[in-house]
Structure 1
Amino acid sequence: MNKLVLLIGAGFSCAVIGRELAEAGHTVTILDARDHIGGNCHTERDADTNVMVHVYGPHIFHTDDEEVWRYVNRFSTFKPFVNRVKTTAKGQVFSLPINLHTINQFFGKALRPEEARAFIEAQADTSIENPQTFEEQALRFVGKDLYEAFFKGYTQKQWGCSPTELPASILKRLPVRFNYDDNYFAHRFQGMPENGYTPLIEGILDHPKITVRLNTRFTRDMAAGYDHVFYSGPLDGFFDYELGRLGYRTLDFERFTHEGDYQGCAVMNYGDEQVPFTRITEHKHFSPWESHEGSVCYREYSRACGADDIPYYPIRLVKEKSLLEQYVKKAREVDKVTFVGRLGTYRYLDMDVTIREALDTARGFLNHLEAGKAVPAFFVDV
């Protein structure tokens, strides 16, 4: 039986869910408050330089999920792209993640892998047996010098608090390599959509049973007349922030242009605490198969997210987790609404995970319909 489904947000989450439901025969309407699709993955050509610009900051596609990789390649040609991040610290440029070249350059050594492993272990604070904080994790596994050069200042700027207040789990995602591999990601499939993310999402939304309305801000009364709603906006926003606001970090971008090549790489981090920005991204390097004389760059500044700012990174410390539990309880009491995506589930999600969860959510929805069961507010553990 055909269902009328309303989806809030035209980013990857609702685009993928909408496409799956449309292909299953349901009628899909997607609303977005912005004047474009793609959410924070939106890309567009700069009018002056013709550089493909990642308007809300760079997005690099990487995954080990073969089904997700096949899925995005249905709608766009992906070109090879390897993210080779550099960092400026203490007046020198190093490669990240920390690898054998970084170690040898930083300490003025010429160590082989086994020697470097033993050397770093000697730098580590082995008295820390069970690291609880970001700082303890760093001191235990890379030692004071590397921590202070590459992690301490950057982390304080990014999160707006001391690394002693952050959980160790944040740093566990960052590897140390005892070889010369400077590929930032270790996933099998890595690349960039040849013409940017917006045409990719346009392709996903290109279906006769999907209607997209932009410049349309969702209010709960709009759900009337629909059989189900998928909501990818802020979880607390759905309830008009009645219990308070969940904490986020937001980003300010200082855009500037340059004639020629500004920094020679796509991403340059700045680890020193006294440098106010966290990194500079040079967008033409995200499309290395293109050639451009001019360049578009962003300086990135991280700060606390205000009521009118775009939320980027959920903070998820003790205070936020307590408030999150209250909102999750309220969400589970709402009928015929499922919360999805980064904002709807208050979790940091890479694009491939977003798509995986969207596919699984759409299939879960269809299975619940077939079984005559009520559709849950969440298909993931938040």
Structure 2
Amino acid sequence: MQILLIGAGLSGAVIGRRLAEAGHSCRIVDSRNHIGGNCHTERDAETGVMMHVYGPHIFHTDDEEVWNYVNGFTEFLPFQNRVKAQARGGVYSLPINLLTINQFFGKTMRPEEAKAFIAAQADTSITDPQTFEEQALRFVGRDLYEAFFKGYTEKQWGCSPTELPASILKRLPVRFNYDDNYFFHRFQGMPRDGYTPMIEAILDHPGITVELSTPYAAEMAAKADHVFWSGPLDGYFDYALGRLGYRTLDFERFTYQGDYQGCAVMNYGDRDVPYTRITEHKHFSPWETHEQSVCYREYSRAATPEDIPYYPIRLVEEKALLADYVAKATATERVTFVGRLGTYRYLDMDVTIREALDTADAFMNCLADGRPVPAFMSSPL
């Protein structure tokens, strides 16, 4: 079959590779001038540092098949994200762990003592947390909430934590030991040469053609037997019902001679610091040595039509509009919506790859069984 895939990020690359290996002809188009989507990495010309151009992407998963898949296309080296946070004049370890608690409260508690101490800080009058703020107050109390969550969240989401659902803070990351590894998955690492060469390797198949700097045009679909759309869901319909809400990021790049902050990620919890964090990119490749450093200050704001969409907002108004777009998409033939933008969900890289592999397999199963291919393999709702 002639398959058209919109977007040369992880979703398009993985689906394209799977289908090309099965004998289909895959044409991938992307409006950007590079592959990889927001995972794109490149060497900084000034310093030689491997840059995560659209902000850091750290690979972590419990899915052994996905881990083996990415390692089949590049070499992953060990990397653990050890985030630090500045708040109220101090530097602390994140996620909140026993060191954070003891530092913050000036204590020397053991794990059981710290558990009892935090339990006493918690607002037990909140029995069914409905908002982000209630969720935090219920489980860690006001002091830790205001130092590490409140200001950061206001900057990240542009609204009060009282307006955000408790589900955003699904699991409060608090550990009663000294483990400061930000993630808890079995497999964690970084591609030695960056993500872009990995995606190049995935796309390196005679059944795949890639066209960059090529915006989608409706006549492309007319020449295809099926379309996989990883662009914005509302964008496919020319925003006919309105625009789904996103947060975007502005990056303020600066260089430094030496080591600027001693870690890859430093969060800033205080509300009067306008940026959410500083990332120092040479620390994402600790096997390399660089005299100079490149850092990004990250500022979060509401996305405009001209911006790159990063985080779907998914509050009440957006979910209502999303339901309307899902209904519209479901009535569309020969198109499957995939990935972070196509399903209006925040997806980690491993989940994106897992869903892409499953989507390609489900597509081929539909063909084999003579069933129609659904618009969504993973429901956005």
> TM-score of the superposition, structure 2-length normalised?
0.99
1:49-128 alignment to 2 at 5 Å? 49-128=47-126
In the alignment, residue 54 of structure 2 is paired with which amino acid? Y
Structure 1 unaligned residues grouped into runs of 5+: none
In the alignment, residue 259 of structure 2 is paired with which amino acid? D
Q: Which residue in 2 is equivalent to 1:189?
A: 187
Instruction: Report the Cα offset of residue 227 of structure 1.
Output: 0.4
1:311-322 alignment to 2 at 5 Å? 311-322=309-320
Instruction: Report the Cα offset of residue 381 of structure 1.
Output: 1.6
The partner residue of 1:166 within 158, 164, 167 is 164
Q: Counterparts of 2:188 and 2:148 in 1: how far apart (Å)? A: 25
Q: Counterparts of 1:220 and 1:146 in 2: how far apart (Å)? A: 52
Q: Counterparts of 1:222 and 1:239 in 2: how far apart (Å)? A: 15
Hey, which bits of structure 1, 4+ residues long, moved more than 3 A?
Answer: none
> TM-score of the superposition, structure 1-length normalised?
0.99
Instruction: Report the Cα offset of residue 247 of structure 1.
Output: 0.3
Q: Counterparts of 1:312 and 1:103 in 2: how far apart (Å)? A: 32
Q: Counterparts of 2:367 and 2:107 in 1: how far apart (Å)? A: 63
Q: Counterparts of 1:106 and 1:204 in 2: how far apart (Å)? A: 46
Q: Which residue in 2 is equivalent to 1:19?
A: 17
Q: Is the CA contact 1:97–1:174 (under 8 Å) kept in the aligned structure 2?
A: no
Q: Is the CA contact 2:136–2:172 (under 8 Å) kept in the aligned structure 1?
A: no
Instruction: Report the Cα offset of residue 222 of structure 1.
Output: 1.4
Q: Which residue in 1 is equivalent to 2:198?
A: 200
The partner residue of 2:133 within 112, 132, 135 is 135
**Overall identity of the aligned pairs, in %:** 77
The partner residue of 1:325 within 323, 326, 334 is 323
Give CA deviations for 1:64-106 in whole Å, capped at 9, x if unaligned.
0000000000000000000000000001000000000000000
1:328-343 alignment to 2 at 5 Å? 328-343=326-341
Instruction: Report the Cα offset of residue 296 of structure 1.
Output: 0.5
1:1-382 alignment to 2 at 5 Å? 3-382=1-380
Aligned residues: 380
Instruction: Report the Cα offset of residue 169 of structure 1.
Output: 1.1
Q: Is the CA contact 1:230–1:340 (under 8 Å) kept in the aligned structure 2?
A: yes
Q: Is the CA contact 2:139–2:172 (under 8 Å) kept in the aligned structure 1?
A: no
Instruction: Report the Cα offset of residue 219 of structure 1.
Output: 2.1
Q: Is the CA contact 1:97–1:182 (under 8 Å) kept in the aligned structure 2?
A: yes
In the alignment, residue 60 of structure 1 is paired with which amino acid? I
Q: Is the CA contact 2:82–2:265 (under 8 Å) kept in the aligned structure 1?
A: yes
In the alignment, residue 201 of structure 1 is paired with which amino acid? I
Q: Is the CA contact 1:267–1:281 (under 8 Å) kept in the aligned structure 2?
A: yes
Q: Counterparts of 1:269 and 1:109 in 2: how far apart (Å)? A: 23
Q: Counterparts of 2:342 and 2:364 in 1: how far apart (Å)? A: 20
Q: Counterparts of 1:129 and 1:369 in 2: how far apart (Å)? A: 50
Give CA deviations for 1:187-242 in whole Å, capped at 9, x if unaligned.
00000000000000000000000000000000222101110000000000000001
Instruction: Report the Cα offset of residue 175 of structure 1.
Output: 1.4
Q: Counterparts of 2:318 and 2:117 in 1: how far apart (Å)? A: 39
